[in-house]
Structure 1
Amino acid sequence: MIAAHFRLALDRAGGRVEGEGGATRLLGIHPSTLRARMRKLGIPFGRKRR
């Protein structure tokens, strides 16, 4: 359920994790926290996502 929530936020942010319009702003969490949780859940981000 959490992984789906993160994926939805990333889709709405256009794949952007942090910065203006990024998923962390939508979720209200620190960028490093989101990246760590995504690693734990196996959700690709950054260059791996391409």
Structure 2
Amino acid sequence: MLQEAINRRKGLKIEVVALVNDTVGTLMACSSTYRDCRAGVILGTG
């Protein structure tokens, strides 16, 4: 559904290849800078 909504918008050249939650996103962002990063943690998001 997300890809379909993006496709309806003209001029956006975006392909969805993965959806992740905030903890996984934090881990991925950290590990791109710090190769020894082993955990992503989000506290208090409700």
Q: TM-score range by the shorter chain?
A: 0.3 to 0.5
TM-score of the superposition, structure 1-length normalised?
Answer: 0.30
Q: Which has the larger radius of gyration?
A: 2
The normalised TM-score by structure 2 is: 0.32
Higher percent of residues as helix: 1
